[in-house]
Amino acid sequence: MLSAPLAPPAMHIPDGFLSVFVAVTLWIVTIVIVAIALHRVSADLGERQVPMMGVLAAAIFAGQMLNFPVAGGTSGHLLGAALATILMGPWAAIIIMTCVLGIQGLIFQDGGLLAMGANIFNMGIVGVIVTHFVYRSVRALAGGKPWGIFVGGFLSAWLSVIIAALVTALELALSGTSPANIAVPAMGGIHILIGLGEGLITVGALAFLYFVRPDLLNVGEAKPAGASVWIAGLVVALAIALASPLASSFPDGLEWVAEQQGFLHIAQSAPYQIIPDYALPGIANKELATILAGIVGVLLVFGAAFGIAYARRKDRAPQAASRTLN
Amino acid sequence: MHHTIQVHNLVFKYPDGTRALDDVSFTIAPGEKVALVGPNGAGKSTLILHLNGILRGEGQVRVAGMEVGANANLPKIRAAVGLVFQDPDDQLFSPTVFDDVAFGPLYQGLPEKEVRARVAAALAAVHMQDYAARVSHHLSVGQKKRIAIATTLSMEPEILVLDEPTAGLDPRARRDVIKLLRELPQTMLIATHDLRMVAELLPRTLVMDQGRVVADRATPALLDDEAFLLAHGLEKP
Amino acid sequence: MHIHFLDPYHAGRSPIHQLDPRVKLVLAVAFILTASLLPFGAWPSYILLLALILSIELLTEMGIAYFLKRAFLALPFMLAALPLIFTVQGTPLATFTLGAWTFTISVEGVERVASIAFKSWVSVQMAIVLASTTSFPQLLAAMRALRIPKLLVAIFGLMWRYIFVLADEALRLLRARAARSGARRDAPYKTGGTLAWRARVTGGMAGSLLVRSFERGDRIYAAMAARGYDGETRTLPLPALQTWHWLVLGAGLIIYILIWLVGALIV
């Protein structure tokens, strides 16, 4: 019942699913954005926020254990990017989600290491930015009335999950590890439902906070200036959310996929064509190479076994010595 | 007539193989008020979590005439056993006192009129009838404790199981909780370190140590046996 | 009952445990990079990677079964790659029709899916080796040495400290909810409430976890400030790398490059 303390793996990309091109590009983008976020957070918030962000990252991690039964043995979970953004603002939320996703990948193998840049990008950066845009827009529309908190919370949480999933699917398609015309509508469709759970839990949490610690939600604060910009953001976000799955399910979508795969072909083959004709002499055919690989493999395992025996013998000597002393 | 609680040869192992409960057996008759004492880590909280199937070990646990092992019985057992946790903040997770006390009846699917009646009755029983609209988080620890008890009373349980009901309370709040526990008619099992309360309130005591029940005696006789208390990390009050 | 067994680190004295955490982190990431760089269908290289990771697992003295069992974590994600057996163009392997649709499985598609699964499988094994033989404080020290910003490392460290505390808190919340999720004995009613109500209750639990975390964060700051914390995290640096560490690092990287060459040039 309580055996799965980790988040659902639906969106944590494991290693092996992203091409190096995609993974490294997203690592670079992520590093730049996280560096900016770190700069902004230490400038704006001060040292008091360091323990706060650590504890909140732990709380988001633990909060992902909280679930509720939906139907047929499935359950709704919390991802938490939206809550973190609403409570701490976008920059701190990016850092909090970076820590959550970093620990999940590094310690619990929930998401890969090379793929971590992408996972932080999808859930920690895209999720946070979408939430920020949508939530602030709705709050501004509501003009400081409490409904803005709840409607904004629901919409931002829901959309942040859907759009993060769509971005994930596009990355897989770009890596050639999932066909775009299937991955995009499938991931989008599933996460339209999963996102509903995220939205409802987020509203529940906001309701609790609204009663208990309204100060954390800056109740009453609204920025009417610039509302049009935020509304535009909301419209764009909605358009992406609704249009992507539709687009790729139309026959025309297949042309787009073909284009992507053409691009993919170029992007992927490049690293291997650096030294195209210099095959190593003697192992030019595949069968021989496989046999050779097998032999080297056996040698490696044998070497490891030898290493253990050697290490054991070295360990035993001091233990024996200490035993005689006792 | 069935026993209210019947535990037979219960064993529970942690994933690493440690025996948190080691061959635990006892029975509690309807209406009895029993203390469960023992040092930290003796297995008291683990035992309590078995009484409504949150943890399941090997052996037999029957509560209110139902087998805890059977999945079909679980919802009924959870309504029959009111479990009051040590930290009321774990139990009070709704915005208002009303929502928290209404959780059990709402989960049971009762109609709105009955939910309201149950909440009113439960709050009256713990003398907190004026607090329905309040925010649980902002109450004092003693008040939270009483609301936590009310959240189980609203399910109309046969049995109340409480984990450390007096821990962390100031003397007056402690006195209020003891008074309240004396008033409640349910069968009770109370895990506690508060032996003064045990002497005052609970005629029978189970002593646990290292996952085993090492004594099951009348409270006055047990509290006179200073050597035994000392051997199990307890002190005569 | 606490959930400290969440921590995958297993204390030990094997050569892998004793390897410097900086070297281990770099070699683990480089291994995964090598696997990812290999083209689809480079089976000789895949076998070498598998042999290498199995050897390393042997060296940890923890038993290969432990790693293989945990390595199935990434399996559900294979669902995303599975449609490739139909969509990748190439030599047809089998064709079947389902209503108006005709599906053709291609050899290239099967090979690509198998390649993705294999790369993912060996990569996750390396990640498990890293996590189970390196304690978290060691990983933090390695991150610091690898120039990850101090502020981020400090937040990682605080987060790790409180993960178990808060996971316990979440577990207790779940238990308290389960304990009251009952049904009447003469139950004529449908239990469980509505979906939206269940979600809202779960949200309340998340909210209560967050509020308590905010309060805890304030208390931690007070406790840190009371001991002279001024925003700067000071730690003792790791000792300088010894010659044998550099040798292991160099040898590891050379092996990876050779494995990559085998895959990139021959296949």
Q: Which residue of B has its CA nearest to A211?
A: B95
Locate A256 and state its tokens: 């787009």
Q: pLDDT value at position C205?
A: 93
Q: Is A207 at the interface with chain B, CB within 8 A?
A: yes
Minimum distance, in Å, between the CA of residue A38 and any CA atom of chain C? 7
Facing residue for C15 by CB, picked from A48, A53, A311: A311
Q: ∠ CA A25-A31-A36 to the nearest 5 degrees?
A: 130
Mutate to test the interface with C, among A107, A168, A211, A302 (most CBs of C within 10 A): A107
Contacts of A293 in chain C (CB under 8 A): 43-45, 47-48, 51, 262
Residue of C111, C109, C101, C105 lying closest to C84 (CA atoms): C109
Contacts of C172 in chain B (CB under 8 A): 85, 87, 90
- CB spacing of C204 vs A208 below 8 angstroms: yes
Minimum distance, in Å, between the CA of residue B78 and any CA atom of chain C? 5
Contacts of A210 in chain B (CB under 8 A): 95
Which of A131-140, B56-65, C97-106, C202-211 comes out lowest in average pLDDT?
Answer: C97-106
Q: Is A111 at the interface with chain C, CB within 8 A?
A: no
Minimum distance, in Å, between the CA of residue A97 and any CA atom of chain C? 11
Interface of A with B in 211-230 (CB under 8 A): 211-213
CA distance C259 to B86: 57
Contacts of C29 in chain A (CB under 8 A): 113-114
* Residue A64: Cβ within 10 Å count: 23
- CB spacing of A212 vs B95 below 8 angstroms: yes
CA distances to A143, B184, C102 from A252, in Å:
42, 71, 19
Per residue in B150-204, pLDDT tens? 999 999 999 999 999 999 899 999 999 999 999 999 999 999 999 999 999 999 9
Per residue in C26-71, pLDDT tens? 999 999 999 999 998 888 899 999 999 999 999 888 888 889 888 8
Report helix angle C21-37 to C107-133, nearest 10: 180
DSSP state of C93: E
Minimum distance, in Å, between the CA of residue A65 and any CA atom of chain B? 15
Which of B118-127, C12-21, C258-267 comes out lowest in average pLDDT?
Answer: C258-267
**How high is the mean pLDDT of chain C?**
86
Contacts of C170 in chain B (CB under 8 A): none
Q: Is C5 at the interface with chain B, CB within 8 A?
A: yes
Contacts of A65 in chain B (CB under 8 A): none
Q: pLDDT value at position C88?
A: 81
Q: ∠ CA A297-A300-A306 to the nearest 5 degrees?
A: 145
Q: pLDDT value at position C235?
A: 73
- CB spacing of A208 vs B138 below 8 angstroms: no
In total, the C-beta contacts within 8 angstroms joining chain A to chain B are 14
Contacts of A3 in chain B (CB under 8 A): none
DSSP state of A215: G
Q: pLDDT value at position A138?
A: 87
* Residue B199: Cβ within 10 Å count: 17
Q: pLDDT value at position A286?
A: 52
CB neighbour list of residue C120: distance below 8 Å, 6 or more residues apart: A14, A15, A16, A17, A112, C74, C77, C78
Facing residue for C36 by CB, picked from A20, A42, A292: A20
Domains and CATH numbers, chain B: 5-231 (3.40.50.300)
Confidence of residue C106 (pLDDT cuts 50, 70, 90): confident
Contacts of B92 in chain C (CB under 8 A): 208
- ipTM, 2 dp: 0.90
CA distance A96 to A85: 9
CA distance B44 to B47: 5
CA distance A100 to A61: 6
The answer to whether C164 and C4 are in contact (CB under 8 A) is yes
Contacts of C180 in chain B (CB under 8 A): 78, 83, 103-104, 107, 151-152, 155
DSSP state of B162: E
Contacts of C5 in chain B (CB under 8 A): 14-16
DSSP state letters, B83-106: EE-SSHHHH--SSSHHHHHHHHHH
Q: Is C207 at the interface with chain B, CB within 8 A?
A: yes
CA distances to A215, A216, B137 from A219, in Å:
7, 8, 18
Q: pLDDT value at position A133?
A: 87
- CB spacing of B85 vs C190 below 8 angstroms: no
- CB spacing of C120 vs A99 below 8 angstroms: no
Mutate to test the interface with B, among A150, A208, A216 (most CBs of B within 10 A): A208
Facing residue for C204 by CB, picked from B85, B90, B95: B95
Q: pLDDT value at position A121?
A: 95
Per residue in C187-209, pLDDT tens? 677 777 888 888 889 999 999 99
Per-residue pLDDT for chain A (326 aa), expressed as one digit of tens each? 333 333 344 688 999 899 999 999 999 999 999 999 998 888 776 677 788 899 999 999 988 888 887 766 667 778 899 999 999 889 999 999 999 999 989 888 888 999 999 999 999 999 999 999 889 888 888 887 889 899 999 999 999 998 898 889 888 888 888 887 788 888 888 888 888 889 999 999 999 999 888 888 875 444 443 455 555 556 655 555 554 544 444 323 333 333 444 433 333 333 333 222 333 334 445 555 555 666 666 666 666 666 666 655 555 544 444 433 33
> Within its chain, how far is the Cα of A11 from the centroid?
6
Minimum distance, in Å, between the CA of residue B125 and any CA atom of chain A? 25
Indicate the helix (H) or strand (E) that contains A312: helix A286-325
The answer to whether C128 and C67 are in contact (CB under 8 A) is yes
- CB spacing of C76 vs A300 below 8 angstroms: no
- CB spacing of C131 vs A183 below 8 angstroms: no
Averaged pLDDT for residues B24-40: 94
Touching chains, C (3+ CB pairs < 8 A): A, B
Does the global pTM surpass 0.90?
no
Per residue in C111-132, pLDDT tens? 889 999 999 999 999 999 999 9
Touching chains, B (3+ CB pairs < 8 A): A, C
Locate A77 and state its tokens: 């979970």
| Domain range annotation of chain C | 4-145+239-266
Confidence of residue C86 (pLDDT cuts 50, 70, 90): confident
Averaged pLDDT for residues C157-186: 87
Mutate to test the interface with A, among B14, B50, B92, B96 (most CBs of A within 10 A): B96
Contacts of C199 in chain A (CB under 8 A): 68, 76, 197, 200-201, 203-204
Facing residue for A297 by CB, picked from C3, C7, C51: C51
- CB spacing of A211 vs B96 below 8 angstroms: yes
Q: Is A29 at the interface with chain C, CB within 8 A?
A: no
Facing residue for A213 by CB, picked from C6, C74, C214: C214
Per residue in B108-158, pLDDT tens? 888 999 999 999 999 999 999 999 999 888 899 999 999 999 999 999 999
Q: pLDDT value at position B53?
A: 87
CA distance B167 to B152: 19
Contacts of A54 in chain C (CB under 8 A): 154-159, 161-162, 217, 220
Interface of C with B in 85-104 (CB under 8 A): none
Contacts of B78 in chain C (CB under 8 A): 178-183
Mutate to test the interface with A, among B46, B103, B135, B144 (most CBs of A within 10 A): B135
Q: Is B96 at the interface with chain A, CB within 8 A?
A: yes
Q: What is the bridge-based pairing of β-strands B33-37 and B204-209? A: parallel
Q: How far apart are the first and last CA of chain C?
A: 53
CA distance B141 to A14: 45
Q: Where are the beta strands (DSSP E) in chain A?
A: 67-69, 75-77
Q: Is C183 at the interface with chain B, CB within 8 A?
A: yes
